[in-house]
Amino acid sequence: MSSGDAADTSDQQAELGSGLSPEDLEALKNHPELLCLQEGLLQEPLFEASLFCRSSWDTVLCWPNTAAGHLASQPCFEELNGVKYDTSQNATKLCQVDGTWANYSNYTLCRDLSTPPPIEASVEVTTSIYYAGYTLSLAALGAAVAIFLYFKDLRCLRNTIHTNLMLSYILADFMWILTITMQMSLQSEPASCVALVILLHYCQLTNFFWMFVEGLYLHVLVVETFTVENIRLRVYVCIGWGTPMLIVLIWALVKTFATTSPSDLQGGAAGPMVDIVQHCPWMAPHNYDWIYQGPAVAVLCVNVIFLSMIMWVLITKLRSANSVETQQYRKATKALVVLIPLLGVTYILMIAGPSEGLSAAIYAYVRAIMLSTQGFTVSLFYCFLNTEVQNTLRHHWQRWQTARSINGTGAARSITQHRSSSDADADL
């Protein structure tokens, strides 16, 4: 608490005690809820012109009058039930936009000093890793999409599917950054919060369905071995962009009429995330979320099946070829490494891990790195390291250099001719 706040509190207590007997003051000390109420009444003139939450005692701390839509914050309690606590951190409680307190006070950061802090991943560090990874992915994906759209030589069904997958990554990564940034600042209005969450889930779901389209395309090409053009692009577009829209629309309608209990606002969130889900209840985990999470999990499971079948066909063909066994393993491993990010199998590998101790912290950081750089990995394998793309870029670069050289030679020749004619005129 700052020195100014301490001075204000002292003044309020002095004003409060001016009309009370020593016995009354002593009685108030034994009833902190009454003292909290009295302090709130003294502060009310400061809030007369605005909507606010009245002072409230939650059996641990007194939460002062707070303007609607703001997050009240104060140092953690020094002692509770005879146990000392770390006062360097803050407890928080949200005053909702309608002028009522949220049902939950966030004491997550108030740590018992008698026990060492648990080794767990820092939310701030993990979020920073996601920010860095998504930013890197956005830059790489933007360059890759520009290459596929600019060079007509690269336009085919396969690369069109790659481009749509990369666009879905761009949208999902951008929406994640935008949503978390706005919610961490607790500045967005409820309506904009709902819109952001719906768009975020739609973009993320399109990402999974375009992974499914990639798997379906490869399955048809490698396993079924009939012309992939039999499935037209518009069918893939309906699967990749249309199906997620229908699923998220159903989820949004159900979520609109669902009731969110205080326990829902706490479940699955810790630290700053508790404040976020209180400020934007649509971000709170709920059983209804399986409406869109279920299809995403189903898509990943189908892609694992596609991957297994594709690898089986590939290994069978490699064994039938007259090549050294080590070369066969190398080619199979390379194909597996390249296909895993394309089909989203990374999400399966990172779906669960340790929840306590140092291993949990390491897992959280590795998971953040792997998932946030998925888009970068896809753009790297399927654009920048792709032989077809490299040959196209090299060809256009050589053409540009040749044209520049010819233009330069022509310009030099015209200058020489001009000088020669000028010299001839001077001689005459």
DSSP H helical ranges for 121-189: 123-150, 157-184
b/e map 148-178, b = 16+ CB within 10 Å: beeeeebeeeebbbbbbbbbbbbbbbbbbee
Calpha distance 219→213 (Å, rounded): 10
* Structure confidence at residue 186 (pLDDT): 54
How many whole angstroms separate alpha carbon 219 and alpha carbon 230? 13
CATH code at 160? 1.20.1070.10
Ranges 23-37, 75-89, 158-172, 358-372, most confident: 158-172
How confident is the model at residue 321, as a pLDDT? 66
pLDDT in tens, 274-286: 445 555 666 677 7
| Claim to verify: residue 146 and residue 270 sit in the same structural domain | yes
Same domain, residue pair 70 and 217 = no
Query: Do both 131 and 105 map to the same domain?
Result: no
Phi, psi of 38 (to 5 degrees): -65, -45
328: in domain = yes
Domain count for the chain, please give it. Answer: 2
pTM confidence score = 0.67
89/104 same-domain check: yes
Same domain, 224 and 310: yes
Q: What is the mean pLDDT of residues 4-16?
A: 44
pLDDT in tens, 49-108: 678 888 888 888 888 888 888 888 888 888 777 778 878 888 888 888 888 888 878 887
Q: Which domain holds residue 52?
A: 25-38+47-117
Q: State pLDDT tens for residues 32-51.
A: 677 787 777 777 777 776 78
| Percentage of the chain lying above the pLDDT 90 cut | 24
For residue 63, give the CATH number of its domain.
Answer: 4.10.1240.10
- What is the dihedral sign for C-alpha 257, 261, 262, 266? negative
Taking the C-alpha atoms of residue 109 and residue 88, their distance in angstroms, rounded to an integer, is 9
Q: Do residues 245 and 277 both lie within one domain?
A: yes
Residue 401 lies in a domain: no
Q: Do both 111 and 127 map to the same domain?
A: no
> Are residues 292 and 213 located together in one domain of the fold?
yes
Residues 191, 64, single domain; the answer is no
CA–CA distances in Å: residue 14 to residues 27, 35, 45, 46, 66: 16, 12, 17, 18, 22
pLDDT (tens digit per residue) in 305-342: 999 988 888 888 777 766 665 666 676 777 788 888 88
68 in the same domain as 139 = no
Same domain, 62 and 181: no
Q: Are residues 62 and 133 in the same domain?
A: no
Kindly tell me the sign of the dihedral angle through the C-alpha atoms of 282, 283, 284, 289: positive
Residue 11 lies in a domain: no
Q: What is the DSSP string of 294-350?
A: HHHHHHHHHHHHHHHHHHHHHHHHHHHSS--HHHHHHHHHHHHHHHHHHTTHHHHHT
Q: What are 130-144's pLDDT values in tens digits? A: 999 999 999 999 999
**Within 10 A of 287 (CB to CB), how many other CB atoms are there?**
8
pLDDT at 29: 60
- The CA distances from residue 405 to 392, 393, 400, 419, in Å, are 20, 18, 8, 21
pLDDT of residue 41: 78
Q: Is the pLDDT of residue 173 over 60?
A: yes
Higher pLDDT, 273 or 27: 27
Whether 417 is covered by a domain: the verdict is no
Strand partners, 83: 80
